[in-house]
A and B are shown apart, each in its own frame.
Chain A
């Protein structure tokens, strides 16, 4: 299709760093129609595509890109939505560079096809052109009469709910918070994933696929799993994520101006504290902020701190940039916005001021030793390297573990010592009758797309089981 191989991808416009430091709006503006079609035409339509098997939900990537290259946007939308119910989210937050784009044939000689950007373009176009795209007019099969409870409305829950609704089952989705979306609502910032897009993806499930959404339902504290099952549900999917924050366990961590990344992000993303006092929830911001950790959540917290007006924002990490779990794109964005990486640095104590707030953070320098269990070189304390980092706010972003509420109230749900639920890797089936699980509640904190992949596999197994159960 392409006359000559185009080695460079079409660039995407971004807000300049000095501008985006001062607003909460999305950083990357997305492709125009011309840019999208131009990029789609770079795809060489491999006979055996490398991209599809490396996508956790196996989107027909060459298929939708070919339709785009031919200018057939409704056709492309149809192919995309057939395998992915949340393309506007995935196109923005998937780590494409380690998945579909990593195995793109063009990547051997030049840039891989910008699959994520094309997915985002298609999803945005389909949402903004409901009539023409036809994604709102899906015809659902005759109802099976089977009732399924999906617990959690994050990426896993949304995917499982969509797949089961498309298969004709009656799906009720339970969400603990007052807004749906799970981590896409409370965790991922507006400047990476606008909240109106999350709402639109949820609306699609509710309005088009007929999923019933019940908010403010803290399952485990309110109804238990067993109560729901005896209430007439034939099967249940647990997609409750890993929402409980971890702390450093160092002195001073309960001081004021120490926020878990979760708290900081919930205040900003879910409660819109950046619009206080128009919105009622406040958030504090220091002049010098240390975010401890180097995952995507740490980058999100650091970049919010920049936007709230902090003068110095540090990412404090005990290893080097090579070991950082955050996506390259987010690391680059953070650096462009002025976030300073304090590498090979381990906090040992947070020092209080006279008002029980943060005065400074005591740290030690690290060096890398032999590889550990994760295959990354183990950081070791450099003797005598203690120093004081001058900060007045500390945000531990050390990852999250599963919230224990459901496990505590479901004795026969087998869990690991990390609090994750034990489930079959290929089917998502837990040890408890009629209950499947997928996403962070099974794996511990991971990515949106891996949760969606697990949810899709569980939905397939659940569908087969539901069709045979009486």
Chain B
């Protein structure tokens, strides 16, 4: 179980893997995620699912090697096994015929948005897809997503390819009636900007939130977010919510809480780690 059968680098530090897990492949729907743990000392971290092949029993994950755990996952090669994968978790996205849907995938989330685009197309929606990244080197899955979509746009933060920034969305909304927007990005600010923009156009907008998670099954409340004034657990009530109702300030502050520990963890190599822990324990 969990043997990697495909591994590719899509851009610097962005990898896609496919691993075998029939249970997960059989049950997954777009919008759901898995929780992965690397080794007995690893943390549990969520990755949104980018697609499955139920016949082969494979599950596709696209991920950014940003932290210690995702870097460890990135070192696994074809034929190797991921220690622990639990899923699918979270509530699936609503897939129905809305009319015209605009899907936005930022950076690594272009992977999972392609899964939603395909599902939305299948039930007869017109799908406009936009993908974005910091610069042109970090854009992924351009051809694949373009082939799935009725209309396709690219944007980069620095303007090195496609539109610069997110203002082009305004032009689309002015030109064409869009019935729903679905936005996925690990950058909270991107989701927030898109939600604020669509609010002025009165377009229902679904955002996939990525707060810090621990167990991913509703046990700890670490991932709590405020939506429409109510506290929700992103791991089981979400991760997708109405972007016009999300308390963005709260989400941004809760995502930063361990930034010090993340920097600290990155400073140590394997040998140093143990010595530091035991000397620390805790005073």
Residues of A whose CB lies within 8 Å of any CB of B are 22-24, 176-178, 186, 215-218, 221-223, 243-245, 247, 253-254, 256-257, 259-260, 262-263, 266-267, 271-272, 274-282, 284-285, 307-309, 355-356, 403-405
Contacts and interface: CB of A to CB of B under 8 A. Distances in A.
Nearest to B247: A254
A274 B215 contact: no
B41 interface: yes
Nearest to B90: A221
B41 A280 contact: yes
Contacts of B27: 221-223
Nearest to B85: A216
Contacts of A223: 23, 27
Given A222-B87, A280-B41, A262 B219 contact: yes
B187 interface: no
Contacts of A176: 86, 215, 217
A405 B218 contact: yes
Given A218-B86, A222-B23, A274-B282, A282 B258 contact: yes
Contacts of B42: 280
Contact of A178 (B37, B249, B250, B257): B37
B249 A280 contact: no
Given A24-B281, A276-B277, 13 more contacts: A177-B217, A178-B83, A221-B87, A254-B224, A256-B253, A260-B221, A271-B44, A271-B214, A275-B41, A280-B265, A308-B282, A356-B250, A403-B218
Contacts of B222: 259-260, 263
B85 to A, nearest CB: 6
Interface string B235-264: 010000000000001100110011001001
A22 B283 contact: yes
B98 to A, nearest CB: 24
A259 B226 CA distance: 16
9 contacts: A177-B86, A178-B37, A217-B23, A221-B27, A254-B224, A254-B250, A260-B221, A276-B277, A308-B282
Interface in B62-98: 68-69, 83-89
B231 interface: yes
Contacts of A356: 249-250, 253-254
B257 to A, nearest CB: 5
Interface string B166-185: 00000000000000000000
A277 B273 contact: yes
Contacts, number: 138
Contacts of A280: 41-43, 68-69, 265
A394 to B, nearest CB: 13
Contact of A271 (B43, B217, B224, B226): B43
Q: Give the one of A215, A266, A280, A309 with max B CB within 10 A.
A: A280
A252 B249 CA distance: 13
B220 interface: yes
Interface string B1-25: 0000000000000000000000110
Contacts of B265: 276-277, 280, 282
Nearest to A272: B41
B84 A218 contact: no
A284 B282 CA distance: 12
Contacts of B217: 176-177, 218, 221, 243, 403, 405
A405 B221 contact: no
A282 B259 CA distance: 10
B67 to A, nearest CB: 9
Q: Give the one of B218, B219, B253 with max A CB within 10 A.
A: B219
The interface residues of chain B, by DSSP majority, are classed as mixed
Contacts of A217: 23, 86
Contact of B41 (A247, A262, A267, A279): A279
Interface residues of B, number: 47
B24 A355 contact: no
B249 A254 contact: no
Interface in B28-57: 37, 41-44
Would you list the 6 A-B pairs with minimal beta carbon distance, nearest first?
Answer: A282-B261, A278-B277, A263-B220, A356-B253, A216-B86, A280-B43
Contacts of A307: 282
A282 B69 CA distance: 13
A263 B37 contact: no
Contacts of B281: 22-24, 274-275
Contacts of B218: 243-244, 403-405
B142 interface: no
A219 to B, nearest CB: 10
Contacts of B24: 222
A405 B44 CA distance: 20
A177 B215 contact: yes
A267 B253 CA distance: 20
A309 B220 CA distance: 23
B171 to A, nearest CB: 35
Contact of A215 (B84, B253, B257): B84
Contacts of B89: 218, 221
Nearest to B224: A254
Nearest to B72: A280
Contacts of B86: 176-178, 216-218
Given A253-B231, A263-B221, A277 B268 contact: yes
Contacts of A254: 224, 226, 231, 250, 254
B69 A262 contact: no
A176 B87 CA distance: 9
